[in-house]
């Protein structure tokens, strides 16, 4: 047999993902898009549970925030078991392990928060829910902002995947729950969005609505593949948001919210730092060239620190160490 008759093995690119339904939908979308761009390659998805997936009976803020949904995937990348990992960008820490980088940011879905209500409240908005109505959220960011605007409501932690949370709502454990619009839309459940919360009520999480693809630094082959999915306007917005969060050294334990608007080549970044009880909220806005996205994020963080955010951050740090 001649050498030319021997088939060349197809290169298999290994993609890491969490096992949750939403994570798999997102990862399979990435796989399918890359397959369209690179039909000569084979793409394989490897799934695993992360610490955040395993511990479901404790609030996220109480079990830490550094790599809760990413560390196991990152270890596999470092060990060479997978080539890259697909994350909801809001779950990806702003400081990555040595040797790993954020290789790609995909086009963002609606980053807003959504109110989903029990059937008995379908005629109401969040502002008209009765006093004492129980709202489920596992996010300190959402909790602080909603406590600030709607002190008449009661709030209760809720964990589990999206279907689990919706089931708890539908069986009457909650009057309403707060979820990301993007997650509901990606799972084909956009009809469950009862009310999209406006930015003046709830600024969204850093990176919410976008996917972040993490890979090994210097892996030219993989970085070249990932650039086919990069969405520069989303990336610029998210780089500004992540720089803001990184400069504040915030995470799941700190109520920090953002909102970004890109108009032409100008980027506007709004942000807040809130106390856990929602009594104090420090707000600020910066605007500048989109190409200076990270500088804008750092600028806003410094602005908020000087306006009183540092006192809130110090108080939260002291409380968490107590």
Give me the active site residues, please: 91
Distance, CA of 244 to CA of 302 (rounded, Å): 9
Q: Write down the H helix ranges in 132-269.
A: 140-149, 162-170, 181-186, 220-226, 232-248
| The token pair that represents 134 in the structure block | 């129980």
Residue 24 and residue 46 in contact, taking contact as beta carbons nearer than 8 Å: no
What is the rounded end-to-end Cα distance, in angstroms, of the chain?
Answer: 73
Distance, CA of 261 to CA of 254 (rounded, Å): 23
CA distances from 46 to 35, 73, 96 (A): 16, 10, 21
Cβ within 8 Å of residue 212, ≥6 positions away: 86, 87, 88, 89, 92, 102, 104, 105, 238
Q: How many residues does the chain have?
A: 322
As beta bridge partners, residue 271 has 258, 284
Helix (H) or strand (E) holding 311: helix 310-321
Judged on CB neighbours under 10 Å (0-12, 13-18, 19+), 116 is: buried
Q: What is the Cα gyration radius of the chain?
A: 21
């Amino acid at each position: 047999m001649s050498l030319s008759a021997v088939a060349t093995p197809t290169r298999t690119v290994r993609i890491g993902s969490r096992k949750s339904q939403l994570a798999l939908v997102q990862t399979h979308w990435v796989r399918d898009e890359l397959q369209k761009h690179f039909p000569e390659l084979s793409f394989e998805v490897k799934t695993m549970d992360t610490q955040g997936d395993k511990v479901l009976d404790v609030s996220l803020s109480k079990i830490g925030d550094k790599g809760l949904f990413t560390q196991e995937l990152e270890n596999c990348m470092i060990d060479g078991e997978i080539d890259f990992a697909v994350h909801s960008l809001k779950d990806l820490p702003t400081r990555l392990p040595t040797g790993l980088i954020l290789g790609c940011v995909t086009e963002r879905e609606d980053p807003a928060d959504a109110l989903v209500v029990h059937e008995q409240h379908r005629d109401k908005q969040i502002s008209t829910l009765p006093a004492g109505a129980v709202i489920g959220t596992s996010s300190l960011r959402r909790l602080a902002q909603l406590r600030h605007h709607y002190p008449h409501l009661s709030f209760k932690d809720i964990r589990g995947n999206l279907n689990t949370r919706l089931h708890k709502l539908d069986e009457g454990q909650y009057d309403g729950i707060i979820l990301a619009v993007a997650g509901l839309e990606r799972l084909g459940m956009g009809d469950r969005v009862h009310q999209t919360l406006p930015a003046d009520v709830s600024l969204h999480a850093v990176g919410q609505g976008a996917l972040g693809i993490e890979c090994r630094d210097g892996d030219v082959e993989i970085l070249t593949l990932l650039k086919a999915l990069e969405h520069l306007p989303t990336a610029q917005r998210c780089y500004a948001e992540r720089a803001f969060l990184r400069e504040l050294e915030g995470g799941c334990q700190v109520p920090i919210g953002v909102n970004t608007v890109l108009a032409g080549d100008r980027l506007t970044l709004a942000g807040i730092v809130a106390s856990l009880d929602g009594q104090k909220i420090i707000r600020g806005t910066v605007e500048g060239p989109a190409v200076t996205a990270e500088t804008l994020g750092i600028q806003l963080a410094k602005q908020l620190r000087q306006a009183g955010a540092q006192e809130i951050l110090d108080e939260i740090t002291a409380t968490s160490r107590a």
